[in-house]
Every structure is written in C-alpha cells, then in structure tokens.
Structure 1
C-alpha cells in the first residue's frame, strides 16, 4: 500500500537515490489521481441524475456553483437546463469570483489572471437570470451548494473535446446540445448585419478576413484591442460596445449571421443556435457546433463558401 513521505524523507530520498525518488513521484501522482477520482465518485457527490433528483426533492431547489471562465459558464447552462427539466425544481446559479486563471505567458485574457471578476459577473448575470430555467443568479458568498461545477477543473478530467460536455462528466447528466439553451428577444436592428467576434487567443492564422471587405454591413462585438486588431483587416467594420451580455445575445440572435472563433461570444451564438460560423484553431479544438445553423471551418476556401451561403440565405 502506498504511503506518503514527509518532507524530510522526500529530500533524503531525492539526494540518495534518484531512481527511487522518481518512482516515488510516479506513485504519488497515481495515488493523488486515485484519491481525487474517489472524491468525485463518492457517495456524497451528486454525480448522477438519481442522486440529483433525491437532493432536489429534499431541498426543493438546487444551488449550483461555477467560477468561470465566462464561456465555460454559458456552456454549462446547457447541462443546468437539462437538470432543471429532469428535476422540475428551481435552480439558483452562484458565481464564485477571483479564482486564479493559469494562462501561458504568451496568452492574455480580458479578465486577467482570474477566471471571473466582479465586472465580468455583472455582465453575465442579466443574461443568465433571464433564462426561464434559472430561478436566480447571484455572486457566491457562503450559500449552501448542492452541485459544484468547478470539479471539472480539478486536474483529473481531460480538458479536451467539447467544452459544453465537461460539466456533464461530473454531474452524470448529458445536455441536449443540439437544442438551444439560451433564449432572448432578438434585436431586429441587426437583421441585415454580419456580426463578428475574434479574440487574440484561438486565432487560425490561415484565415484571411479581408475577404469580408466586400460587405458593408459588418459589426464587431468584443473588447477594444480586439476591434483594433480586426480593423487592420476590415477598416470599415463598426465596433459595438455592449452594456452587458444580455444585449450581446440579443444582437447575435437578431443578426444575419455570426462569425466567431473559440471565444466567449461564440458560446452565446451556440446557446442561441443562431446562424453561426466558427473559426477553428489549428492548435486546439474545444468547441463543437451542434444543431441548427451550425458551421465551422479550418481553411480559407471553406470560410469563403460559408460566408456566401449565409449571406445569400433568406431570413
């Protein structure tokens, strides 16, 4: 049976027997993985729908916790919606702020070195709270939590594949991702606009956006540095600064079609099932469009073909 060593025993082993020390580190990693797996699947964890239903019936509601990032929260709503459908109890979403966000040195994020701050939460809450399957959405203080959706980031689950499925692995609930899980009133002022969002992360450098200069109805939603970047390729594009993400969702829901990369605004387009095109990253594909009006592309010819199809489609 594996037994953890104290700090002095580890240091002694490291300096006296390097091979045994490496073997110990390997055993320690396996031990920690096993402990965490047992923690995830333990009897107290709500990791299948039967356990969730039992707690929902007893408590009369379900309190769900998530720490971000913002896109992860939007994708998690698909599972939360399904949980609400299966339990028929009110669901309260609590957002935990300021958990560290470990990014490579060459990457940046609008929220900086945390996954969710108070400013981002204030932008999110109006959109989440307006969903019919959500009873309330608030900042977490010290409320009782029934389902902690942060466990998918705890280190044992593979952070690969479709982000929208990640929390399903820890809750045992499969979201119906081909169906919309966001609903808003479309902003019809943008019915003839092509709305674009493109973050600095996840860019596919083989795609040439100058192809879109032939259109005079381009609108960009995102932060100003992203707008300044895309304006180098699309000098005529207009920048729309939104008050919150509910407004962003209304614009995407009402537009001709949406183009985005694997960043936050695409999660909204995916949740709405708006006509959408996803620019896939050549480095990692962790967003998978599903359901009506879903399109993705890796190469320029495909990009241009999809643009023409959607631009000429009848609304």
Structure 2
C-alpha cells in the first residue's frame, strides 16, 4: 500500500537513498494518475460513450459547460460535435464566466486574470450559436450541467503537450474528427487578396522575425491593440482589423488569402475553418497541431518564409 511521505521524510530519503527516492517519486506520480482516473470515471459522471448515450436516450438533452479560454472552447467543439452525432440529443452549451487565469510572470492576457468575461462570451456566442451541432448556447447562470468540460484542468492531463483539440475527448471517450472543418461561416471575400495574421504575446517563437512580410502588398492584423502596435514595429504598413464579434473575425479569416498566427484564439478559428493557415510553433509549449488539408507549422525562419511564398503564389 502506497503511503505519501511528509516533507521531512522525503528530504531524508532523497539524501540517504537516491534509488529509493526515485522509486518513491515514480510511485507518487502513478498514484496521482490513478486518483485522477478515479475522479474522472466515477459512476455519476458522464465520462464514457455508453454513459453519455444512455443519459441522452433517457433525457433527450446533453448540457455541457466550459469556462474558457476562448481558444480552448473552440478546440472543444469537435468533441461536442461528435457527441451530437453519437447521441442525436439536443446539445446545450453554457459558458462559465470569471474563472481565474494563472499566467507566468512575463506574460499578459487580454482578459487580465480571468479566462472568460461577459464581453468575450458574447462575442463567442455570435460565432457558436449558428453552428449546426449546438442547439442552444448562453452564459451559465445556475443551469444544471451534465458534462463539465473543464475537468481536463483537474491535473491528470499534461496540458503543455499533445493536442488541445483532444482534451475534452479524453474526458468523454468520444473521439472527435479533427481533419474536417468544425466551424462553418460565410467567407468575407473582400479579403480574398489579403494575408491575415495574428500574434498574441503568449506562445511566441522568439527566433522568428516577420519583417520579410513587408514585401507583400496586403497584410492585415486581427487582435487587440497592444498586439497590433507591437507587430507594426516590424511591419509598419500592416493594417489593423477591429471586429465587433468573433463571427466577423471568422468570416474575415475564412475569406482571406491565407492566415498566419501563433498558438492564439484567432489561430484556433483558422484551424476550425480549415482554411490555408500557418502556425508559429512555440518551443516551450507544443499543444496545437494543424490537422487536415491546408495546415502548416514551423519552427524556423527559412521554413516560414518558404511557406508564405508558396501559399501566396498558389494558384
């Protein structure tokens, strides 16, 4: 039977028996994984296809909740769509506001210290409400929830690796289809000759310089003002697109010549649309993976410039 040691006992073991200390750390890690598995799969939670289908057949509805970030919600959609297809039940999605956001010391976030606020949720609802697999969406206000999609944050899933778009499927056992589009919008064709880009402060590859984009005649930026001012230092002629909601953003990205972005919310939209897209991959966190046609990623400057050249000249 595994017994967790206190701090003094751990330090004593570390300094007196290194081999046994390594074994203890391995056992502790296993126990944490077992505890997480028990937490997720305990009987009352809808954490398997059989449970979800049985509940849907009995109740006719599946009520899900998610607290953000906005990009995480976009990446949860393929699993939500798969649940809809698997159960044919009414799907209701509720967005929880004000959940705390923990950032590393050198990063900031447009929403400050929360993952989702009312303004962001309203902008997001404009995009998600028309999606055919969501029957109802609104801000959460004490509604009963059947599946809490935030459980991936409970500690057992490594969030700095793999693919964000699979996190919710690990909780439900319902596998998403990631190579097909999971967002549907009407493209804004006025941007057909425009390269649209976004670059958040987080998840940057600091070996990359976008100055070479100066040679391309029509570059537009989607993002918050501070991000735009930052990229304008490198690309003085870039223009800033301000959107009223995320449906407008999605329509612009869908209509653009192609999209460039780092691991940020606008890239998640491009990934959901499966438009021609280039992902700036950050070395420290690789948890966004282009899936399906038209998706490209890179680590190095030469590869980025080659991708941009090829997509710009693609007939």
Q: TM-score, normalised by structure 2?
A: 0.91
Aligned-partner SS, 2:171: helix
Q: Specify the alignment match of 1:127 in structure 2.
A: 127
Q: How many residues are paired up? A: 306
Quick check: 1:97–1:116 contact (8 Å CA) kept in 2? yes
Change (3 A) 1:58 1:14: same
1:70-125 CA-partner distances (Å, limit 9, x unpaired): 10000000110111111111211101111111111111111111111112111111
Quick check: 2:277–2:294 contact (8 Å CA) kept in 1? yes
Answering whether residue 37 of structure 2 is matched by residue 44 of structure 1, we say no
Quick check: 1:204–1:298 contact (8 Å CA) kept in 2? yes
Displacement after TM superposition at 1:37 (Å): 2.1
Change (3 A) 1:126 1:21: same
Change (3 A) 1:251 1:152: same
Displacement after TM superposition at 1:155 (Å): 1.0
Quick check: 1:65–1:93 contact (8 Å CA) kept in 2? yes
1:79-118 paired onto structure 2 within 5 Å: 79-118=79-118
Quick check: 1:269–1:276 contact (8 Å CA) kept in 2? yes
1:224-247 CA-partner distances (Å, limit 9, x unpaired): 000000001110000011001110
**Aligned counterparts of 2:58 and 2:205: Cα–Cα separation in 1:** 49
Quick check: 2:32–2:156 contact (8 Å CA) kept in 1? no
1:35-72 CA-partner distances (Å, limit 9, x unpaired): 33212111222222111111111111110110111100
Aligned-partner SS, 1:195: strand
Q: Specify the alignment match of 2:58 in structure 1.
A: 58
Runs of 4+ in 1 over 4 A off after TM superposition: 1-4, 13-18, 20-23, 25-33
Q: Specify the alignment match of 1:73 in structure 2.
A: 73
1:1-315 paired onto structure 2 within 5 Å: 19=12, 33-159=33-159, 160-314=161-315
Aligned-partner SS, 1:65: strand
Q: TM-score, normalised by structure 1?
A: 0.91
Mind listing any 5+ residue stretches in structure 2 that lack a counterpart? Answer: 16-20
1:271-299 CA-partner distances (Å, limit 9, x unpaired): 00011011111222110001011111111
**Aligned counterparts of 1:205 and 1:167: Cα–Cα separation in 2:** 30
Displacement after TM superposition at 1:199 (Å): 0.7
1:191-211 CA-partner distances (Å, limit 9, x unpaired): 110000001111112212111
**Aligned counterparts of 1:166 and 1:32: Cα–Cα separation in 2:** 18
Displacement after TM superposition at 1:19 (Å): 3.4
1:165-217 CA-partner distances (Å, limit 9, x unpaired): 11110010111000100000111110110000001111112212111101121
Displacement after TM superposition at 1:308 (Å): 1.1
Q: Specify the alignment match of 1:7 in structure 2.
A: none
**Aligned counterparts of 1:21 and 1:214: Cα–Cα separation in 2:** 58
**Aligned counterparts of 2:118 and 2:108: Cα–Cα separation in 1:** 18
Q: Which moved more, 1:45-54 or 1:252-261?
A: 45-54
Quick check: 1:62–1:147 contact (8 Å CA) kept in 2? yes
Mind listing any 5+ residue stretches in structure 1 that lack a counterpart? Answer: 5-9
**Aligned counterparts of 2:193 and 2:11: Cα–Cα separation in 1:** 67
Displacement after TM superposition at 1:18 (Å): 5.9
Displacement after TM superposition at 1:20 (Å): 7.8
**Aligned counterparts of 2:287 and 2:215: Cα–Cα separation in 1:** 31
Quick check: 1:14–1:21 contact (8 Å CA) kept in 2? no
